[in-house]
Amino acid sequence: MSPIMLEVIEWFDETGIEIVHRYPERGSGDIKMGARLVVRENQAAVFFRDGQSLDVFGPGRHTLSTQNLPIVTRLLSLPYGFTSPFRAEVYFVNLKVFTNMRWGTKDPVAFKDSQLGSVRLRAFGTFTLRVTKPSLFVNSLVGTNASYTTDRLEDYLREVVVARLNDFLGESVDTLLELPRHYDEMAVAVKTRVAEDFRKYGMELVDFYINRITPPEEVQRMIDERSGMGAVGNLDQFLKFKAAKAMGDAATAAGGSAAGGLGVGVGAGLGILLPGMLGKALAAEPAVATGAATIVCAGCQAVVARDSRFCPRCGRQLAAKKCARCQGDLPTDARFCPSCGHAVTTT
């Protein structure tokens, strides 16, 4: 196989996720003195020969010569007049900011909550980064790989982020009920801790966000129930309201099937509570919702419409005669007219 003679060396990132690209992708290439190296504005080129990082080239067009490759020049043999090809590799490093990189817990992490006990949490978020020291990044993470993408970097950095987040939760958070309002504060604190881990590999953590931290479903239900109890407030008033609503629903239901359904749904416990609550309600509030005048039945104390002649609850006759002065209706056992106070004469 004939050697690859490299005279123009350049690289375009067509995927958008490639951080490092090795040229050539396999082995090393024969680069002759005077070859052109083209580095774009958002790139850096790390030059390797014999497994050593010799130089880092910034943006621009570079001619490989004795002036910009002094180390290579000393390694070349003099008999060839510094024109002999030499074997080397170039690692192009993408210096742009890589956005929308995701982190998250593969397995739940244990958290000791002061109110809920031991809880297992999952956390998810995003971060952005860029390479600041190309030579350090290539030597520490890339090695001799032909390509290095954000997918491979995410797999490693995810574990670093989760470890630092777990440390922060254990040291600074008392209960997960307080977590949502502290997301921004937590993100800043965790970013500060993770930044040093990124820096030692030649990277900068630009942004770090916590999107959500979620407990298991059963713990979420406990939190919902706790919130519901707080919303109920006075439990006695709440039970009375629910009982009255059930009675109203039963009254508006059509046919006997509705009543049968109520008997099944309400149960024995509600059946015991309803009679006493109903008696109190009837004694304290008018039973007529039309706004008409009312009177109290002398037999059962039920509140009925004033123009009723018989009590709908016990059947007692309510108005058997008229007042001699105002012609108002008189209850059968009345001694004085309830409208004008006139004494009722008995016959």
On whether both 318 and 338 belong to a single domain, the answer is yes
Instruction: Note whether residue 186 is domain-resident.
Output: yes
- Say if CB 9 and CB 62 are below 8 A apart: no
Taking the C-alpha atoms of residue 188 and residue 175, their distance in angstroms, rounded to an integer, is: 19
Single out the residue in 60, 94, 128 at which a domain terminates. 94
Domain assignment present for residue 236? The answer is no
Same domain for 64 and 15, yes or no, is yes
Based on the domain organization, do 28 and 86 belong to the same domain? yes
Rounded to a whole number, what is the largest CA-CA distance in the chain?
Answer: 152
Other beta carbons within 10 Å of 243: 17
State how far the Cα of 300 lies from the Cα of 186, in Å rounded to an integer: 67
Domain boundary among 183, 204, 220: 220
- Establish whether the linkage from the previous residue to 24 is cis, with ω within 30° of 0: yes
Is there a domain that residue 179 lies in?
A: yes
pLDDT of amino acid 223: 63
Same domain, 43 and 65: yes
Does some domain include residue 258? no
Q: Which two tokens stand for residue 20?
A: 């490092």
Could you tell me the two tokens for 74?
A: 């000393």
The verdict on 53 and 27 lying in the same domain is yes
Question: Could you tell me the residue range of the domain that residue 46 belongs to?
Answer: 5-94
For residue 302, the SS3 value is coil
Answer whether residue 232 is part of any domain: no
Residue 22 included in any domain: yes
Specify the higher pLDDT residue, 284 or 17. Answer: 17
Mean pLDDT value across residues 306-320: 74
145-194 pLDDT, tens digit each: 899 999 888 888 888 888 888 777 777 677 776 677 777 888 888 888 88
d(CA 287, CA 278): 11
User: Which tens digits make up the pLDDT trace of 211-251?
Assistant: 888 777 776 676 666 655 555 555 566 666 667 777 777 76
Instruction: State the chain's mean pLDDT as an integer.
Output: 74
pTM of the model: 0.56
Query: Could you identify the residue written with the tokens 């919303």?
Result: 231
Q: Is residue 227 included in any domain, yes or no?
A: no
Residues 30 and 90 in one domain: yes
What is the pLDDT, as a whole number, of residue 143? 87
Q: Domain count for the chain, please give it.
A: 3
Query: Tell me, what amino acid is at 269?
Result: G
Q: What pLDDT is stored for residue 265 in this prediction?
A: 47
Q: What digits encode the pLDDT tens for the residues 55-110?
A: 899 999 988 765 555 555 555 544 444 445 667 889 999 999 998 888 888 777 77
Instruction: Check whether residue 89 and residue 124 sit in a common domain.
Output: no
Residues 296 and 328 placed together within one structural domain of the fold:
yes
Q: Which of 51, 75, 94 is the last residue of a domain?
A: 94
The yes-or-no verdict on residue 20 having pLDDT over 90 is: yes
**Interval 50-63: pLDDT, tens:** 778 888 999 999 88
Do 71 and 106 fall within a single domain?
no
